[in-house]
């Protein structure tokens, strides 16, 4: 009897060890980076400083433009240098979703950033793409065909559309710096001597809203759509501005709401993409990672990723912030929902 009991105990122990060995992922914690820093007590209502910043995928050349696809419960984002749109799904990991993406020409591109940048959904859940290499804003229709939404202004080709946001009217606001041109601002292919912020109406009319920003980049609307926020990724003036949105969709006089040089420390990255939560707070990529600001531009906290961080968006139930940070795709849980959830 004792021998049978001993044999049973040893067999059970062997099974437990074998199961643990065969499924180590259940025993291992997710890889994490960085830290969350409180700059103002108001941060505590938005995110806990103890939340881990998870690494979901890595190995990208420069990740950008994340968008959550609720219908498929997955994320799409750009790997600009590789001219890919990448798909990431829980339990499946990363895969190439679209190639080529931002540059579809037959000749070698000749620059560092041919791919798509900002990605977003319109009100009919169609994917809108800011295409660097093709210098266009495009939309993928329900049948898979592609519509060019914007390619030139007053007879001149756009620089390289960077990021965009959709208004409830269906109008698309987008930025147009030169980063996707071969040679950047000095490119011989450049046809404009400024970097604009534009509005594309639903009838296709393209309006130049402002060219006062040297390198307009990330763009977002306030919850009431009365304010447009634009980030400027200029190392000499790494700032964020707000513009009142008029009844006709054009913009009023800008206000400087924050300056990246006022943040403590000298960390990698600058103003780039951003998103807005349900209360109107800005989650804006900037020096060190993601800077969390009040609607008026008061610094509340920072998600320090350790990488130059390009963009961010909310996903899942609206309380998960996804971040594209150079070679990484990251996420962190928050206490608020993203706008629209």
Q: Phi then psi for 130, rounded to 5 degrees?
A: -90, 110
Superfamily of structural domain 31-333: TolB, C-terminal domain (2.120.10.30)
Take residue 119 and report the two structure tokens written for it: 């990605």
**Structure confidence by residue, pLDDT tens digits, 53-87:** 999 999 999 999 999 999 999 999 999 999 999 99
Contact 334, 313 (CB under 8 A): no
Looking at residue 30, what is its pLDDT?
A: 84
Contact 113, 62 (CB under 8 A): yes
Q: What is the C-alpha to C-alpha distance for residues 12 and 208, in angstroms, rounded to an integer?
A: 72
Residue 185 is given by DSSP the state G
Looking at residue 336, what is its pLDDT?
A: 98
- Going by C-beta distance under 8 Å and a sequence separation of 6 or more, which residues neighbour residue 72? 89
Looking at residue 134, what is its pLDDT?
A: 98
Domain ranges for the chain: 31-333
Q: What is the C-alpha to C-alpha distance for residues 169 and 188, in angstroms, rounded to an integer?
A: 37
Which is higher by pLDDT, 313 or 18? Answer: 313
Looking at residue 292, what is its pLDDT?
A: 98
Percent of the chain surpassing pLDDT 90: 90
Residue 2 has pLDDT above 80, yes or no: no
Residue 27 has pLDDT above 90, yes or no: no
Residue 103 is given by DSSP the state -
For residue 66, the surrounding DSSP H or E stretch is: strand 63-69
pLDDT class of 243 with cuts at 50, 70, 90? very high
Residue 8 has pLDDT above 80, yes or no: no
Looking at residue 266, what is its pLDDT?
A: 86
pLDDT mean across residues, the chain: 93
Q: Is the dihedral of CA 56, 270, 165, 116 positive or negative?
A: negative
Beta strand pairing call for 156-157 and 32-33:
unpaired
Please compute the mean of the pLDDT values over residues 272-300 and round it to a whole number: 98
CA dist 121 → 70, 130, 166, 258 (Å): 10, 12, 8, 28
Contact 219, 197 (CB under 8 A): yes
pTM of the model: 0.91
Which is higher by pLDDT, 266 or 309? Answer: 309
Looking at residue 10, what is its pLDDT?
A: 43
**Structure confidence by residue, pLDDT tens digits, 95-104:** 999 999 999 9
First-last CA distance in the chain: 63
CA 272 to chain centre: 9
Which is higher by pLDDT, 86 or 28? Answer: 86
Contact 321, 277 (CB under 8 A): no
- Going by C-beta distance under 8 Å and a sequence separation of 6 or more, which residues neighbour residue 30? 52, 54, 55
Q: What is the C-alpha to C-alpha distance for residues 177 and 18, in angstroms, rounded to an integer?
A: 56
Looking at residue 70, what is its pLDDT?
A: 96
């Amino acid at each position: 009897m004792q021998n049978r009991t001993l044999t049973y105990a040893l067999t059970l122990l062997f099974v437990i060890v074998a199961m643990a060995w065969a499924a180590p992922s259940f025993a291992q914690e997710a890889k994490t980076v960085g830290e969350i820093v409180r700059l103002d007590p108001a941060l505590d209502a938005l995110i806990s400083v103890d939340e881990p910043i998870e690494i979901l995928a890595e190995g990208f050349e420069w990740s950008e433009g994340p968008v959550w696809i609720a219908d498929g419960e997955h994320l799409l984002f750009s790997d600009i240098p590789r001219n890919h749109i990448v798909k990431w799904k829980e339990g499946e990991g990363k895969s190439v979703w679209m190639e080529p993406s931002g540059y579809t020409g037959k000749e070698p591109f000749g620059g560092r950033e041919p791919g798509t940048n900002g990605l977003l959904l319109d009100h009919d859940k169609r994917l809108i793409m800011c295409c660097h290499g093709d210098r266009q804003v495009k939309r993928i229709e329900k049948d898979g065909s592609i519509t060019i939404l914007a390619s030139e202004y007053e007879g001149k080709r756009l620089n390289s559309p960077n990021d965009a946001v959709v208004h409830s009217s269906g109008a698309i606001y987008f930025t147009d710096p030169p980063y996707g041109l071969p040679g950047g601002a000095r490119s011989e292919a450049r046809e404009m001597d400024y970097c604009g912020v534009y509005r594309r109406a639903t009838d296709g009319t393209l309006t130049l809203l402002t060219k006062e920003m040297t390198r307009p980049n990330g763009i977002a609307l306030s919850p009431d759509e009365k304010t447009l926020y634009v980030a400027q990724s200029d190392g000499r003036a790494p700032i964020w501005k707000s513009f009142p949105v008029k009844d006709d969709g054009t913009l009023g006089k800008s206000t400087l709401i924050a300056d990246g040089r006022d943040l403590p420390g000298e960390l990698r990255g600058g103003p780039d993409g951003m998103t807005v939560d349900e209360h109107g707070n800005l989650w804006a990529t900037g020096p060190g990672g993601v800077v969390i600001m009040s609607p008026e531009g008061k610094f509340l906290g920072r998600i320090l990723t350790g990488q130059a961080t390009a963009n961010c968006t909310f996903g899942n139930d609206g309380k998960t912030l996804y971040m594209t940070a150079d070679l990484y795709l990251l996420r962190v849980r928050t206490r608020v929902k993203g706008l629209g959830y």
